[in-house]
């Protein structure tokens, strides 16, 4: 079965009123916002947001959706050409793959903050226990401190794939 095309995921950030983050957030700033569920305060820089929009525009030319692109890239779904655009073919049974990746479109954090995304193949797998288990069993478990969150629906730039944001302090790279 082909991946689902979701027009909303193509135009989500363009349609929203968005302003870039002009203040570089320290670890303390970020923790304060996360602990108070003020996720809207955690934003990309103008440059990062511009790169994100350009990336999405180029994907519209080559893929049916951002979800198709990510399913192929992250989970290895087979990609096929359909009407000149690449589409992910969903396997008969969706697995339980979980992938940790750096956020390609960084937020305006100081260098002490590392920002990762944990992607879940199945929406059913995104729960606190699964997130914390994945963090503990990975390189992120070696960080001095960790904070993670799931954006509210209205703020999700990739609503078709279950994922959470993870900030780590005191870790250099994957």
Confidence tier at 11 by pLDDT (50, 70, 90): very low
Q: What is the largest CA-CA distance in the chain?
A: 49
User: Once rounded to an integer, what is the mean pLDDT over residues 68-75?
Assistant: 95
**CA-based nearest residue to 43, from 65, 69, 63, 13:** 13
H-run or E-run covering 134: helix 128-136
Digit-coded pLDDT (tens) for 107-162: 999 999 999 999 999 888 889 999 999 999 999 999 999 999 999 988 888 988 99
Q: Is residue 69 part of a domain?
A: yes
What pLDDT does residue 12 have?
Answer: 46
Domain extent for 86: 7-169
Q: Is residue 2 part of a domain?
A: no
**CA-based nearest residue to 168, from 127, 128, 104, 111:** 111
**CA-based nearest residue to 160, from 40, 84, 80, 77:** 77
Q: Is residue 162 part of a domain?
A: yes
* Number of domains making up the chain: 1
Q: Is residue 43 part of a domain?
A: yes
> Does 43 or 20 have the greater pLDDT score?
43
DSSP 3-state assignment of 60? helix
């Amino acid at each position: 079965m082909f991946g689902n095309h979701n027009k909303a995921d193509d135009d989500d950030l363009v349609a929203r009123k968005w302003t870039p983050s002009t203040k570089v957030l320290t670890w303390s700033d970020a923790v304060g916002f996360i602990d108070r569920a003020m996720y809207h305060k955690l934003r990309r820089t103008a440059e990062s947001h511009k790169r994100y929009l350009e990336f999405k525009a180029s994907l519209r030319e080559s893929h049916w959706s951002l979800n198709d692109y990510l399913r192929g890239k992250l989970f290895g779904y087979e990609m096929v050409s359909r009407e000149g655009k690449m589409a992910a073919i969903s396997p008969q049974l969706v697995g339980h793959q979980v992938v940790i990746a750096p956020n390609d479109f960084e937020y305006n954090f100081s260098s002490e903050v590392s920002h990762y995304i944990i992607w879940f193949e199945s929406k059913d797998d995104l729960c606190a226990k699964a997130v914390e288990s994945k963090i503990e069993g990975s390189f992120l478990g070696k960080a001095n401190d960790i904070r993670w969150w799931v954006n509210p629906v209205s703020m999700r730039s990739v609503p078709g794939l279950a994922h959470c944001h993870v900030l780590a302090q005191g870790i250099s790279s994957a």
